[in-house]
Copies of this chain bind each other. A is one copy, B any other.
């Protein structure tokens, strides 16, 4: 006999677990323990339902004998996690001709017939699997409708509608058990994270009937707002209704609390309302969670059918968790653990209202979260012009390049045809918090003709409005309703708690004063990566850069760089001031020089004019600088060694800026990082030059300053040779973007073309540019870190690639003993929370 555990009446002491009987059964038991008015309920375990699905039906009479034989019953799903879904609840089991008579006497014949009809309908559709269309021509009168439904049933099934509650219940249970095993249901729940063998429990509950004489009805109620987390009674009630009818009850549904806009439950049934409020408060305190109650009022008497965790967006989740902790209901650590770090992205950016209708034009890669609406423009110049007119624009490009930077800053969102998670547009977008969809290759980009053709044929011209949803990777037609970002007080409080327990530092990648300000606002502990090349794309500087590139002697080159020096010095001084003495790690010039040259004929002509050179010479030089694989070419330290003047200028600018802000009371020890190292001798050579410049500046100014030199480890070889490199430097920072590219032999700019197929086929479990590859790239990180630390125990170790903000990467870095992670400013909060959770988890594990 299974009675004891697999089929059991829910009592405070019954052996019921969420992992054996499902969350709903467990929650009902908790409510029962609180002595709340829940109807008698029998829980069927996952095992029991598996047996039923396999054809082994338990004894219905024995089961029914535990419940009131006069009550109607409902069956509801109880899976381990309510997000995983489950078959629809079936109400009013036990209805039959006879029961209809009996019940009619108590609640009125019409109400009884409506209950019967409702049962016949759901039984026909969900148990007998009739086509719902067959019941379309239902007459309006309940009696006629019932007769019609019974006739359709009998015609189709060729049997009379079952009248025995035991038969009815058995069929309902069998049908629900089998539905759970259906392929669609399985795929749907697996998509939500359910394991392949997730079980279904069911609960069989005596029904409180929301129809009949006196105040009868049903509704749902909770004490907080699901979108904001604010304390506010929320829900709906509908007289003469069952289940969750109130939620779809339209105008007839009532408010709960007294409300000027219309009648309320509080007025109609004040006692039941007061009880509900008090029950919910008790549930919150005892269940340590904000709950929603599903309730029925039967002739003025309150029945709690169910309690479920209040649905919530990220902002509400933070607010609820903080409130629970502040009220002493849960410890702060638990509040921290209740927030999924990635969910914070929702708070930091405007979002498309999840309840709004979406007119999706196309999908791409969700490259930078948040949403924004603007008029489409096809050039960076148009974006700048529109910004000057105060218009919001969405910058649409095949792909973006460094030349588009200004236009990107002036747009509200970016859309590109090409690229993946770490393409230029994506990286910049995340860096400056701009919603961005890349790789939207299903759209036809006719940028020359200034139009876009959506896959469905709709054509968008320059000036047409679209909404970019960078959180979901969707391009929406027109203006979609947006929800504002929500980094409110609760958020700040939670972040404070996170910082209290966190044991790995979090810095931000920031290239511009604007980025740095954002990093500071998000309380980053310094800048972990300041890329200096963007600084050269401003028009005036770009011209000088090009002169430098075209210089034929070292002296000419130095003269051009001399003009860039004061600008760079000002850049760095600005950053130092904004960061108020926190560490700033400046990466020396990294990209290949050809990125600074125009790529088309017209650009060459312009450049020839500007430099007063024959066009042929310009074209020839541009061609000579072109590379087959720029990622693997003449850039980074290779440029630093073969064209040393650039690094010398940058290093001097850093030192002079350091002295300048020191004069203003900002004490800083700048960090200088050498990119793309593959051999320790490269470090030796650059170190020698940096030391000479430092000596020169010290002797010119008569003032002293400190600095730290380090290496960006982004080639596999640098990781392997970290033991040679480490003794020469103060820090190593792993650039996981390039390291991933080289370890996989995979260009991030070209991977977009097949990455989604690769992830779908399971070739890569995840896009390695998005999630640090723990099996390959991370091994190189481990090897590098171990060898480096062995050779130089005082070394600072960090990660500064795009992965820096990912919880998985942070877990890895923390375990590997890294000192800090560095990520886009907008991911700093995610990283702070993720790091805090890791520390809490360790503390729990250790306890």
Contacts and interface: CB of A to CB of B under 8 A. Distances in A.
Interface of A: 627-634, 638, 641-642, 676, 678-679, 681-682, 685, 714-717, 720-721, 738, 741-747, 749-750, 753-754, 757-758, 761-764, 773, 775-777, 779-780
A747 B716 contact: no
A743 B764 CA distance: 21
A763 B631 contact: no
A715 B758 CA distance: 17
Contacts of A717: 743-745, 773, 776-777
A837 B678 CA distance: 32
Contacts of A720: 743, 775-776, 779-780
A750 B715 contact: no
A720 B773 CA distance: 12
Contacts of A749: 627-629
A745 B715 contact: yes
A720 B744 CA distance: 11
A724 to B, nearest CB: 8
A685 B776 contact: no
Top 5 A-B pairs ranked by shortest CB distance?
A: A632-B747, A629-B747, A715-B745, A717-B776, A633-B750
A443 to B, nearest CB: 13
A634 B745 contact: no
Contacts of A775: 720-721
A776 B680 CA distance: 12
Contact of A716 (B682, B743, B757, B758): B743
Nearest to A681: B763
Contact of A750 (B628, B685, B773): B628
Contacts of A631: 628-629, 632, 745, 747
A contacts with B: majority SS:
helix
A31 to B, nearest CB: 47
B721 A761 contact: no
Given A678-B744, A679-B763, A720-B776, 8 more contacts: A628-B631, A633-B753, A641-B757, A681-B761, A715-B744, A720-B775, A721-B775, A742-B742
Given A629-B629, A743-B742, A642 B757 contact: yes
Nearest to A744: B678
A819 to B, nearest CB: 25
A746 B633 CA distance: 6
Nearest to A757: B642
Contact of A627 (B678, B744, B747, B758): B747
A763 B682 contact: yes
Contacts of A753: 633-634
Contacts of A634: 750, 753-754
Given A642-B757, A721-B775, A762 B629 contact: no
19 contacts: A627-B747, A627-B750, A628-B749, A629-B631, A629-B632, A632-B741, A632-B745, A633-B750, A634-B750, A638-B754, A641-B754, A678-B745, A685-B763, A715-B743, A716-B716, A716-B780, A717-B743, A717-B745, A720-B776
A641 B679 contact: no
Contacts of A738: 745
A750 to B, nearest CB: 4
A803 to B, nearest CB: 15
Contacts of A642: 754, 757
A150 to B, nearest CB: 53
A714 B742 CA distance: 11
Contacts of A743: 678, 715-717, 720, 742
A749 B758 CA distance: 28
A166 to B, nearest CB: 51
Contacts of A685: 761, 763
Nearest to A684: B763
B630 A745 contact: no
A373 to B, nearest CB: 29
A629 B676 CA distance: 16
A261 to B, nearest CB: 56
A764 B716 contact: no
A721 B765 CA distance: 15
Contact of A761 (B641, B716, B773): B641
Contact of A721 (B750, B763, B776): B776
Nearest to A683: B763
A461 B6 CA distance: 94
A557 to B, nearest CB: 16
Contacts of A627: 747, 749-750
A339 B720 CA distance: 35
Contacts of A715: 743-746
Nearest to A633: B750
Contacts of A777: 717
A745 to B, nearest CB: 4
A746 B780 contact: no
A446 to B, nearest CB: 10
B678 A746 contact: yes
Contacts of A758: 638, 641
A281 to B, nearest CB: 52
Contacts of A629: 629-632, 747, 749-750
Chain B CB within 10 A, most for which of A627, A742, A757, A780: A742
A283 to B, nearest CB: 47
A738 B716 CA distance: 13
Contacts of A757: 641-642
Contacts of A676: 745
A631 B638 CA distance: 19
A38 B454 CA distance: 97
Given A641-B763, A750-B634, A745 B776 contact: no
Contacts of A750: 627-630, 632-634
Chain B CB within 10 A, most for which of A629, A631, A678, A775: A629
A716 B716 CA distance: 7
A758 B762 CA distance: 41
Chain B CB within 10 A, most for which of A638, A714, A717, A757: A717
A721 B773 CA distance: 12
A634 B745 CA distance: 10
A797 B565 CA distance: 54
Contacts of A678: 743-746, 776
A437 B761 CA distance: 45
A708 to B, nearest CB: 23
A758 B639 CA distance: 11
A666 B720 CA distance: 46
A765 to B, nearest CB: 9
Chain B CB within 10 A, most for which of A716, A758, A761: A716
Contacts of A716: 716, 742-743, 745, 776, 780
